[in-house]
A and B are shown apart, each in its own frame.
Chain A
Amino acid sequence: MSEGKAPPRERDQQPMGRSSDGAGTQRQREREPMSSGGLDMRIDAALGEWPMPERSALDWDESADRVMSRIAAGDIGGSAAGGRHMGAHASRNVSDEDLFAAPLAMTSEEAQNSAAFGKTASSGGEGSRMAVTSERRERRSFQELAEMARSGSLTPPPASVAPKPAAPAPAPTTDIAAKGSGVLDLAAVAAADPAGAQRAQTTPLAASGLFEEPSAPSVQHAAAASVARASAAPAPSVPAPHVARAVPTVPPAEKKSGGGVIVLFGGLAVVAAAAAGLFFVVKPRMASDANKVALAPPPAVTQQAPAQTQAQPQAPAPKTDNAIDPTALPLANAPTATAPATAPFPVVSGALPFAAPKQAQPDPSAQALASAAPPATASAAPVASAPPAPTSSASLEEQMRQAAGPSTSGAPTPTPDNAPTQPQGAVPMKPSQGAVSGAISAVMPSARQCLGPDDPISQASIIFQSNGTVQSVSITGGAAGKPAEACIRQALMRAKVAPFAQATFTAYATIRPN
């Protein structure tokens, strides 16, 4: 007997006791090429007719006799000839467990890739085969997962190691249930437990109006009617036992209370989200307002900085009509800012007035505050009375020294000519309102004593001079032209405020009788 070339092959001879009904047809179908391409056909034909070297029947018999002789001799592992090729130890190393185990079982990757192939190529022949059934993947339906979750075993062990739970009494299921799609038929549920709706209506939450729909009261009735129809319907596809599993064992009241808690938490979440949204909407506006407030004061600085930067480029510029003679400017007011700029350049263009006058001419509010400053601050006034900037012949150090020196060594008070327009250091331009009020309040009681209880109200105009004393008092009103006028004038003449830069400051007061 010679194996020879492929046709006819032993696969077509049915030598293994298998019936020839399905296997042969199956093999023919499985051998059909995947495509009509010529190359595929050539490959399939070549694979199916792969020739093997001819071997005589005597050779095969001898080979079989060798096997049997070894079996009879008890030779285990490694053939007489094979010991030198394959190695006896190589065969002996294979334990029986490994020898009979599935050699190339399905991998996880193959499980996904082979899903599309399914059992289309199966022959539907005989029953179970070796490890195929045990290796077959068990798919859990959503329904089974839901049951596991309900029972608390959310992370069940793999199907290969987990013992199958004792399944409840098998019940006929619907097509949907059989497929395990997880679809819950509410009508079937209602049909399985017709009294459930009534029980739910008796719960406290139901009494609190959980199921009420004020806007559409008829909907409830319609829904109840539909449930009633469903319950009255035969519902052949959903038997009661299956639905009993689907219907939770939790009483309806507990279920509804759980829903109420969910609604409560949902409401809280919505409120929190709204608050967060409001916060994020309002915060930018507040931040922008704060930025506006914070950015309001700096304009003087922001204007000053560019002026300084512009000072140097503009310094070499020729003298123009807008140029200010630095000799007329008090350098001490801004020594650090003006000295470097003015010292090297005797004649400075209009850039300098940007930097210095900003500090030299404070706004009126600042003047009011300065009037209330203590006299001690007036000692700094000599800073403002620094000598004029030297000419270009003086060195930078000298100019710096001259500019800084008088500020620390003291200097005479500014003259009244410079006082109104130039800052006077710590001396306010005019007395503060508080200082004026305090001074007048101090002498007002004595002035009131000049009036009788029935005398009319009089007004006084008090003129303070720069040293803080009252220069003159004029009385109008009921006391004018009367003896009380001199009394009031004498009383008010004792008022005194702190010195101020302006020549005079006029304050007004009303004298009422006690």
Chain B
Amino acid sequence: MGSVALMLPLTGIASKPRMAKLTDRDLVDRARNGDAGAFGQLVRRHQQRIHRLAVHMLRDRAEAEDVTQETFIRAYQALARFDGRSEPYTWFYRITVNLSLNAIRSRKSSRTTSEADDPRLEAVMSEKRPSAMADPPGDASRKQLYAALCAGIDKLSETLRTTLILVCIDGRSHEEAAQILGAPEGTIAWRVHEARRKLREHMQQAGFDPEGDAL
């Protein structure tokens, strides 16, 4: 055990707890100095949210995988350009948004996804509750709600949709979204407001009760 314990610090597994205490800036500094493991820690730390963002942006699981990987690769290559004025994750977000928008604009035609192959609805459709908490009518309503939300979000403009994803779905603050998108916070607030308004109108047109409170 002792030898194992002595050997652990020499391995990557043993170094994880120690590196987990490091901030993103520390990891970036280490990665700049050639510590690939530090950058790997950054990838593991942020790849889930980057992947979530890519899925909502691209509405395609495979493309989201590509963009996620590409984001970190391009970020690693451009570590020298990171000036440290912002948080590294906002930098990753910006790269992801740019790559996603570029992929969307590179599509030869606008892609229409059905509810079955929409990665955003994959978890909702496959959601299964324990039998004790079974609520078939509620589950159906929930699926219907998210399907309508997906349709409403897809009708939004590129700007409004991206801002809505960042703020309302991914939970970024207006300040963070402003840093990511390069727009003033007031503009972010207006975009969110507009996106919500249009989304509400869409939902009402889809038959959802404006005063209903059941999810």
Residues of A with C-beta under 8 A to B168: 31, 44, 47-48
A110 within 8 A of B: yes
Residues of B with C-beta under 8 A to A121: 174, 185-186, 188-189
On whether the beta carbons of A50 and B120 are closer than 8 Å, the reply is yes
Cα distance, A367 to B61, chains bound together (Å): 115
Cα distance, A53 to B51, chains bound together (Å): 11
Q: How far is the CB of A106 from chain B (nearest CB, A)?
A: 4
On whether the beta carbons of A117 and B175 are closer than 8 Å, the reply is no
Q: How far is the CB of A81 from chain B (nearest CB, A)?
A: 6
Q: How far is the CB of A485 from chain B (nearest CB, A)?
A: 122
A130 within 8 A of B: yes
Interface residues of B, dominant DSSP = helix
Q: Which residue of A lies closest to B60 (CB)?
A: A85
Stretch at the interface among B2-10, B41-49, B109-117, B131-139: B41-49
Stretch at the interface among A32-40, A180-188, A472-480: A32-40
* Partner of B199 from A9, A43, A72, A77 at Cβ < 8 Å: A43
What 1/0 flags go to B182-215 for Cβ under 8 Å of A?
1111111111111011011001100011111111
A489 within 8 A of B: no
On whether the beta carbons of A85 and B179 are closer than 8 Å, the reply is no
On whether the beta carbons of A39 and B43 are closer than 8 Å, the reply is no
On whether the beta carbons of A10 and B62 are closer than 8 Å, the reply is no
Task: Kindly name the residue among B66, B85, B158, B168 whose own CB sees the greatest number of chain A CB atoms within 10 A.
Answer: B66
Task: Kindly name the residue among A38, A63, A67 whose own CB sees the greatest number of chain B CB atoms within 10 A.
Answer: A67
Given known A47-B164, A68-B36, A129-B90, contact A100–B81 (CB-CB < 8 A) = yes
29 contacts between A and B (CB under 8 A): A9-B171, A11-B172, A31-B171, A37-B211, A40-B196, A40-B200, A48-B171, A50-B120, A51-B127, A63-B69, A66-B69, A67-B73, A71-B39, A71-B73, A72-B36, A77-B70, A77-B74, A93-B102, A94-B102, A96-B74, A100-B91, A103-B101, A104-B162, A105-B182, A113-B190, A119-B184, A129-B86, A129-B175, A129-B179
Beyond A51-B127, A85-B65, 8 additional contacts (C-beta under 8 Å) are A30-B174, A45-B215, A54-B123, A67-B40, A103-B101, A104-B159, A104-B162, A121-B189
CB within 8 Å of A: which residues of B? Answer: 23-25, 36, 39-40, 43-49, 51-52, 55-56, 60, 62-63, 65-70, 72-74, 76-78, 81, 85-87, 89-91, 94-95, 97-99, 101-103, 106, 119-120, 122-124, 126-127, 145-146, 149, 158-159, 162-164, 167-176, 178-194, 196-197, 199-200, 203-204, 208-215
